[in-house]
Structure 1
Amino acid sequence: PYVVTTDPRFTGQRPYVSSDYLLSLLRPPGTATGSSASLAGWEALIPPGARFLTPSGQPRRLGDGFYEQKAVSDQILATSGQRCLERYGDSDTQYKALLAAGVKFAQEQGIKLGVRLTDAQQKLLTTDLVWLVEQPVVLADGSVQSVLVPQVY
């Protein structure tokens, strides 16, 4: 489930790479695929006290693929002055590669879903990546929900 869902009429009706890709790479062998699958069997990936899970065990994310890619492009633009890093020609290719790099690094370092990289972990980075971190967001009605947000490192 997403807090922000983009109207497909404004995105050209095409699918966008989303954090569903990251979650599919993290999925334990033998677990059913599909974006609506819960995190059953993923207990080792969830930190104690995680608030980003829905009552049914699904990860609550800030936005759909279009929204996530815009957030990532905005982070890259703020630090590099460009929407895409040099080695990527488009946002879909870039996001997919950054998510895959995030999964690889998280698995190597034992980083749990929703947990920000420490300064020490960031110093170990040899490539750019995206990892989903837990962040509270204030909704229009004033309530606060914890969601997973893509963070560029």
Structure 2
Amino acid sequence: MTDLIKAADALAEEERMERIARTICAEKNAVYGEPPCWKVDGPWPNPDCGDCTCHDLAKAVLSDLNAYRQARENADGVKVKPLVWECEGGWRWKGTPPDGFFASVAKWVWQAPKGGFKHAGTKELFATLEEAKAAAQADYEARIKAALEG
């Protein structure tokens, strides 16, 4: 069964690369007002095409996409330490990273003038302080994970 799954994955990857190559071809030729090579009668890729790099570009795009997906999967297992919350001035809360991290990545939460709570990084209004803190924590974690290299 494993060989069958591997063969199916390889076929799906090949089809994905083909779709990407055709899209690249269409976009490149559209710049010159010409139809894409694959819409011209004959084999694909078209041997008469003056720029036969579509498949190479598609392979590079697919390789980068796969690397990105792998990095995202690896980052999902990473645990980010929670922010430490403290009230400042009785009206806003500052969530700072644990000791050893830069305070410049602190997240701010405050009570909105017309009710509810907001946090820096979004215009969304949250019903409770805890919801706003949770959203700020999620935003903080997403930014940390996005900066990780796979």
TM-score band (shorter)?
under 0.3
Tell me the TM-score normalized by structure 1: 0.24
Tell me the TM-score normalized by structure 2: 0.24
> Where is the helix percentage greater, Structure 1 or Structure 2?
2
- Bigger-Rg structure (1/2): 2
Greater RCO, 1 or 2 (C-alpha within 8 Å, sep 6+) = 1
